[in-house]
Amino acid sequence: MEIFFTLLNTVYVREQITERTMDKLKNDAQIIGEVLKIQKSKNYHDILKILDTRYTILSMNGTVIYDSKNYENETNMDNHLYRPEIDALKNEKQAFDIRNSRTLNEKMAYYAITIEDYSGDRIIIRTSESFKSQQQEINTLFLLQVFFFIILDLTILIFYRNYIKRSKRKRIERMREFLEKGITMEDEYLSDDKWLLNFWFVVREWQEKNLLNIKKLNQEKILLNRLINSLDEGILLFDENLDLITKNSSMNFLFHKDSKKYLEVINNIEIIDVLKECYQSKKDISREIYISSLNLYLFTDAKYLPDNEQYILTLKNISQEKEIINIQRKFISNVSHELKTPLTNIKGYLIALEDAPEELKVNFLNIIKSNVNKLENIVTDFLTISKLESKIRVNPSKFTSESLLKELETSISEMAKKKNGKVVYEIEENLIQMVTDFDKLLMTLKNLLENGFIYNSSKNPQVKLTLHEKNEWYHFSVKDNGIGISRDKLNNIFDRFYRVDEARTSNIAGTGLGLAIVKECVKTLGGDIQVISQPNEGTEFIFRIKKLTI
């Protein structure tokens, strides 16, 4: 378009300039013609000296008669008959031509016309003028136009590119904003830019997939974290240089929080040794460790993960298992000891029975019988305690406090009678319905009430049972007026096989397991127990158990 316009405009301007030049040359030639028509003299030089245009007068055969620029040298000039503007006069009255002059070696405009001079001879008048400046003018104009259009195009290009860039950038930024906020952008916003709209669809689809994946990953991460943190075991993951990658929150007391290097992270030399051994041998190492300052047994396990050159360290607190093993060991030795005494007695009296005189036999038999009873009691208590320990499920039932007391009364009546003692009940009036494990509660109360009579040297032994409910608890108190317990023994009375002072009591059937059973029962019923006592001031057991539901 621009090239076409430039060419058209250049052609038009050239036409105008050419026409102007031709008009001038024509005008001059006509003036010369008019002068020559009336002038007899052939002294053209003098007649036409006022004209600055170059003009040549030629005969019809092309001979130069006069040339204003080659005055008196005309005879040396070529015949002009075949110069295009002269040649054209054969058919035309006037002729115009623009060409390179052979003699002057520059672009010239020529105009030629035939006229009759004053004598009636036909002659040719040719005017000419340099076309150099006009040509330059045309060239300059052409160049100017080309330059103008180049500048214009460049400006438009820069402006357009900037505009497009800015508008695209603005849209892309808006897209980013929408993506970041997770808002669905109106598709109409991009409807005028198909390319961008398609791009937007692709990005959005991609983002939706990504968001879904991120969501899934996050959920999995949360789940995994929750899982790892819910473990009781301490888990630590180290990289190939034994720098900590991650750890769960268990056993934090064994580690320094803000460190990365394994030597700084772990604050126990034995655990460090396990990890270091695994690191050096590239083999799994596990070891039991005892941390005396914390009275803690740990099972420490370091594993090498060859695929990603990592090390995983797990620490398991096995103190409880260790304690159970210890308790079991102690229990077995206690049991053997406890069984041994009555068994030795039985064995001894059985041997003695064979040769014993008749009057002692009954006595011996009674001793054997009471030892057998003791054996039976021990075995019964063992069974009870091991049942409780094996965490037999609590069996809640609904009953009234009245039915509980009735059953209790029956269970201990024999003992109370024997001791000539009495039980005083102080029950909250409005307490009618109870929900708990009837048998376990009965066993607890029976043990405590019996002890209240057994360890009692008062003339009028009395045990007072108090019961009330508060919030989600049933509160009990069993208080006697017995011999009491000294302060230094109070901490031990709930231990298995612990008996304060065998010589103090006449309870040879006692096993030292009664209060251990009580404590286990109360614990199983979701409660706790404590004791208040002083020698000769009586003893009070206070405990509470949780209200259960069925």
Residues that bind ligand ADP (CB under 6 A): 451-452, 455, 480, 482-485, 493, 498-500, 510-516, 539
Go through 150-188 and write b for each residue having 16 or more CB atoms within 10 A of its CB, e for each that does not.
Answer: eeeeeeeeeeeeeeeeeeeeebeeebeebbeeeeebeee
Q: How far apart are CA 513 and CA 383, in angstroms?
A: 11
Evaluate whether 315 touches 303 at the Cβ level (below 8 Å).
Answer: no
Of 448, 458, 473, the C-alpha closest to 541 is 448
- Whichever of 74 and 495 has its CB closer to ligand ADP, that residue is 495
Rounded least distance, CB 515 to ligand ADP, Å: 3
Task: Report the residue closest to ligand ADP, judged by CB.
Answer: 514
CB of 461 to ligand ADP, least distance (A): 10
Which lies closer to ligand ADP via its Cβ, residue 130 or residue 411? 411
Nearer to ligand ADP, 278 or 515 (CB): 515
Measuring CA to CA, how many Å separate 498 from each of 154, 182, 238, 491?
106, 70, 49, 10
CB 62 within 8 A of CB 79: yes
In the complex, minimum distance from the CB of residue 411 to ligand ADP, in angstroms, rounded to a whole number: 15
- In whole angstroms, the minimum distance from the beta carbon of 265 to ligand ADP comes to 47
Cα three-residue angle 464-466-471, rounded to 5 degrees: 170
- Between 198 and 492, name the residue whose CB sits nearer to ligand ADP: 492
Q: Which of 216, 388, 39 is nearest to 224 (CA)?
A: 216
Structural contact between residues 125 and 112, judged by C-beta atoms closer than 8 angstroms: yes
Considering beta carbons, is residue 23 or 528 the nearer one to ligand ADP? 528
Residue 70 CB partners (closer than 8 Å, separation 6+): 64, 76, 77
Q: Looking at beta carbons only, is 234 or 512 nearer to ligand ADP?
A: 512
In the complex, what is the shortest distance from the CB of residue 431 to ligand ADP, in angstroms, rounded to a whole number? 24
Place of tokens 């390319």: 195
Cα gap 431→436, rounded to integer Å: 14
Tell me the closest approach of the beta carbon of residue 393 to ligand ADP, in angstroms. Answer: 25
Cβ distance to ligand ADP smaller for residue 396 or 452: 452
How far is the C-alpha of 3 from the C-alpha of 195, rounded, in Å? 32
Q: How far is the CB of 378 from ligand ADP (least distance, A)?
A: 9
Separation CA 165–CA 489 (nearest Å): 91
Give bridge partners of residue 268 from the DSSP assignment. none
Q: Minimum CB separation from ligand ADP for residue 505, in Å? A: 6
Calpha distance 173→299 (Å, rounded): 57
Q: Nearer Cβ to ligand ADP, position 436 or 456?
A: 456
Query: Minimal distance in Å, beta carbon 343 to ligand ADP?
Result: 18
| Cβ nearer to ligand ADP, comparing 80 with 374 | 374
Residue type, 10: T
d(CA 194, CA 190) in angstroms, rounded, equals: 7
The DSSP output letter for 1 is -
